[in-house]
Amino acid sequence: MGKRFAKIMSVIFILLILTGCWSRREIEKLAMVTIIGHDKVIVDGQEKWQISVTAIKPRDLASQGPLGGNASGSDKPTVRVSSIGATTWEAGRNLTARLPRREYIAHTNILIIGQELARQGIDQMVDVILRSKDNRLNTWILVAKGRAVDILDVEPEMEELLSQEILGLVENQPVASKAYTVDIKHFVNQLINSGQDAAAACVEVYEHKDEGQSQGQDGAEDKIPRKMVRVEGTAVFRKDKLVGFLDSEETKGFLYAIGRAKHGMISLSLHDHVNKDIAFAMTRASSRIIPKVEGDEIEFIIEIHAEGDLQQHEDTGPVASPEIIKIVEEKAAHEIKTMVEKALNKAQKEYEADIFGLGNSLHKRYPQIWKSVEDNWRELYRDIRVTVKAEAKIRRTGMLTDTPPIR
């Protein structure tokens, strides 16, 4: 095992000891669960509930003391175990019966919902989660494009544990801005909120071809596809059911609108007849959702203000003149506005899901108006007018070196 894995296990060991109620012998009787996956599957023609977990192998846990060290060699440090049942409760009991050790989920940081289960509805799953005293409400919740169990079977690329690999991808999203990440606490709050529908990040398996893994008969290198995971896109819910997805670009527009896109790169063409030769590297962004009520008419304005640096290719030529800066700012603002409108159109017109929280904004600004429309908000929401306004400001220009602020 690598040093990183030894450190992870040492931390878990110390945390358990510090609780005052765990002896080393008790720890060795636990199955440390790192990821939980929920699916709906067909077994013998009948639909069943499937729960899958990734757990650290007991010998790897037992061999980890406060000083690290591992005697298990290079074997995979985790095992995937699945069970099925007519209900999530039954599947959970069957999982407990399959494990020779008691599952311990207090350090689980990833929960994955399979696509088919999400489409049918997750109210039963959420009920089980909230009733369990061991579940952590800050566990990240993701929706699989496909089956959750298939995610759990992927070998991590850079980390010893798949949970750490996925956790890293989730925690990088404030920079990448390609997925809407949410923990269980905030996800459940969205589910029970009449003024906002729920959303969650997507996770999927994809094939990546590495060079030099094998050689063909003629001695040439063949590229063998390797299964990997990525966190990209957003799952959109209406009430407790998955109704569709936003792709990475639509997700970026969604994040701009709700003030969650803090970084990112927008490639632009300085001249319409050339390829994209400059980029707006966003360093700061803010947004406001403003409800307006005039008589019986309700409408919203979404305002986005972004600041960033102008980056250019070497052969672009000088672009720091005020005229050029203004053109680039207008192009960047237009690009942001377009991304927001695409995401809004899909959520509002196609999915009829208020993931932007327009209802919440109305509730905060006009509580009495909200009270009068709350019961039929879904019918009103689809046709409500929303105007998107975007502004982009360039603070610095250059290649890869820092230059003084423009203004």
CA angle 385–339–114, rounded 5-degree value = 95
Average pLDDT estimate for 88-108: 89
* pLDDT interval class at 64 (50, 70, 90): very low
> Residue 24 above 60 pLDDT?
no
Global pTM? 0.84
CA distance 173 to 181: 7
CA distance 31 to 18: 19
Render pLDDT for 256-272 as a digit per residue (tens, 0 to 9). 999 998 788 888 887 66
* pLDDT interval class at 317 (50, 70, 90): low
pLDDT at residue number 146: 96
How are beta strands 221-238 and 199-215 bridged, if at all?
antiparallel
* pLDDT interval class at 163 (50, 70, 90): very high
372-392 CB burial, b ≥16 within 10 A, e <16: ebeeebeeebeebebebebeb
CA distance 309 to 272: 21
Task: Considering only residues 254 and 5, tell me which one the structure prediction assigns the higher pLDDT.
Answer: 254
Could you please state the CATH topology (level 3) that the domain comprising 251-407 is classified under. Answer: GMP Synthetase; Chain A, domain 3 (3.30.300)
pLDDT at residue number 401: 41
pLDDT at residue number 278: 83
pLDDT at residue number 101: 83
pLDDT at residue number 334: 95
How are beta strands 102-104 and 30-43 bridged, if at all?
parallel
Task: Considering only residues 341 and 25, tell me which one the structure prediction assigns the higher pLDDT.
Answer: 341
Render pLDDT for 190-247 as a digit per residue (tens, 0 to 9). 999 999 999 999 999 999 876 545 545 555 555 678 899 999 999 999 999 999 999 9
pLDDT at residue number 176: 83
Q: By mean pLDDT, which of 72-76, 162-166, 263-267 is the weakest? A: 72-76
pLDDT at residue number 242: 98
Task: Considering only residues 341 and 11, tell me which one the structure prediction assigns the higher pLDDT.
Answer: 341
Supply the angle between the helices 322-345 and 248-258 in degrees, to the nearest 10: 100
What's the number of CA atoms in the CB half-sphere (13 Å) around residue 398? Answer: 9
> Residue 25 above 70 pLDDT?
no
pLDDT at residue number 315: 53
Average pLDDT estimate for 330-354: 96
Q: By mean pLDDT, which of 18-22, 114-118, 155-159, 308-312 is the weakest? A: 18-22
* pLDDT interval class at 273 (50, 70, 90): low
Amino acid at 301: I
Render pLDDT for 117-151 as a digit per residue (tens, 0 to 9). 999 999 999 988 888 878 888 999 999 999 999 99
pLDDT at residue number 43: 93
* pLDDT interval class at 31 (50, 70, 90): confident
Q: Where are the domains of the chain?
A: 1-246, 251-407
Question: Exposed/middle/buried for 399, CB within 10 Å: 0-12, 13-18, 19+?
Answer: exposed
Average pLDDT estimate for 94-117: 91
Average pLDDT estimate for 37-58: 93
Highest mean pLDDT out of 38-42, 135-139, 316-320: 38-42
